[in-house]
Amino acid sequence: MANLNKLPSPIGVKGPVLTIVMDGVGIAKDCAGNAVKRAYTPTLDAIMEKYPMVSLKAHGTAVGLPSDDDMGNSEVGHNALGSGQVFAQGAKLVSNSIESGKLFTSDAWKAEIANVLDNNGTLHFLGLFSDGNVHSHIDHLKALIAHAKEDGVKRVRVHILLDGRDVGETSALDYVLPFEEYIASLRDDSFDIMIASGGGRMVITMDRYEANWSMVEKGWQTHVLGEGRQFASAEEAINTYRAETKAIDQDLPPFVIAKDGEPVGTINDGDSVIFFNFRGDRSIEISKTFEAGADFDKFDRKRVPSVAYAGMLEYDGDLHIPSRYLVSPPEITNTMGEYLANAGVAQYAISETQKYGHVTYFWNGNKSGKFSEELETYVEIPSDVVPFEQRPWMKCAEITDALIEAMKSGKYPAMRVNFPNGDMVGHTGNIEATICSMEALDLQLARILAVVDELQGVALITADHGNADEMYETDKKGDPKVGKDGSYKAKTSHTLNPVPFIIYDNFYADKYTVKADEGNFGLSNVAATAVNFLGYEAPDMWDESIIK
């Protein structure tokens, strides 16, 4: 890797260059569902009005996803922020591999199929069951099932994690019922296939960053052991739980499909298991659980079947989790963190548990380690294990306390922070809580920017995608849809809206100009801008800086 070159006429920033990621805070129409606009945020309002601001694309092809109908997410957003480039991402990689047939000629796929055929076992598919295209896509699952039948697999069981987060909050049956018809069309005397278990994605299996291992334990009990409340079908489970709990899909309890009192799809010795999510953060823990040896200590697995396990992708390239995967992940190279480390620039990254991996692992191009132990400091503030709508301020004050201390230390020219509030609370669909989360964040922005001024630094304030900006389902004009009863329908997914990029600078504005916002900037333009403020030219492979 080449080193960064100094700018001929550097801006000369004395204090830190701080990138602030307001996770899930997009730019949208001022309406009833826009929690960002409805919140009392005097600091954010003032800096948007007073300081240079451009909009950044944070979804679709601008972050490496297949089409501009695909909403952005925190993973690809932080990849783009940290690398200064756009790489083909999980969904696109998998789709391309399926369409080309490369997936089905991979050693991993062959091993999964051979294990089942050699042991007269069952092939299990486990993952997020929707077309949200953030963690998974149901079309990928269908393609894998169809090819498994072609390859001679006799028995398949599907374990479904209900979404209601990247898609409509109560849309589960829109996927389950057509899928039941689809697998019925495949089923015959030599091909036995059915849904075996499931539950809401925020209740079982899909924990991340080891924030709540009990979710994974519930998933293990449900999918592997077949323990839990039994139903005749997924449709019956969903309808029953909705009537009893009034919960949205992501929060529905686990269920086991049974016949004559016996689970139809426990996971046993000689079986193969494919976790079909392509996104890494919520795939690592369940993968560890399947692949760990006797020293596994997160919970009592009770029974550990000898299976061939594979992920759709390699979810952690440094730790090689899982050991077998169907599609190779993008090789993200020449990241900002690596360039700055090579240039001897000290860096500081901080968030709470829910987004800690985003300002470290994803920011660094899906690399879990540091580029330099000496030059990089990573700080994780432990997240509370409570529903986010019950504590919408999350850990933003504690993050700010630690950040300010680090800023005042003078050790770190390059700093970055993620505040998860707008995204994590936005996903609950609770607009009042999300408004509160934005107000809590605004208080911390005021504290931080005062220290930026004290140290004569610069703050680059942006987001990774939208969420809190659109808390109700909207029509084509961006207005909230009104139901027959006159109410709005909560939206729990990310949005397709752009995000702000604000240059907070009270000392150096005469040293540069901000390029015109013509709608062509994306998250990948941030890295070049940041290194320019640090006094360096951006590498040629990065997307252009927003300043000149």
Query: Which of the residues are catalytic?
Result: 74
Q: Give the C-alpha separation, 42 to 153, whole Å.
A: 61
114: CB partners within 8 A, 6+ apart: none
* Spatial separation of the C-alpha atoms in residues 142 and 131, rounded to whole Å: 11
| Residue 72 to residue 525: CA distance in whole angstroms | 16
Judge contact between 219 and 199, C-beta under 8 A: yes
Distance CA 493, CA 429 (A): 8
Q: Residues 103-115, buried b or exposed e (16+ Cβ, 10 A)?
A: bbebebbeebbeb
Reduced to 3 states, what is the DSSP secondary structure of residue 246? coil
DSSP-derived 3-state class of residue 215: helix
Separation between Cα atoms, residue 119 and residue 135, nearest integer Å? 31
Strand partners, 97: none
Six token digits for residue 499: 């995000």
In Å, how far are 208, 350, 380, 490 from 353, measured between CA atoms?
Answer: 9, 9, 6, 26
**Order of strands across the sheet that contains 458-462:** 53-56, 499-504, 458-462, 17-22, 414-419, 347-352, 376-381
Judge contact between 286 and 219, C-beta under 8 A: yes
Sign of the torsion formed by the C-alpha atoms of 179, 180, 185 and 187? positive
What is the Cα–Cα distance from 544 to 536, expressed in whole angstroms?
13
CA distance 452 to 459: 7
Phi, psi of 198 (to 5 degrees): 180, -170
- The answer to whether 244 and 277 have CB atoms below 8 angstroms apart is no
Report angle CA 61, 67, 71 to the nearest 5 degrees: 80
Tell me if 223 sits within 8 A of 138, measured CB to CB. no
In 151-225, which ranges are continuous DSSP H helix? 172-186, 213-219
* Beta carbons of 85 and 367 less than 8 angstroms apart: no
Q: Which residue has the tokens 């240039």?
A: 343
* Number of Cβ within a 10 Å radius of residue 433: 21
How far apart CA 348 and CA 24 sit, in angstroms, is: 22
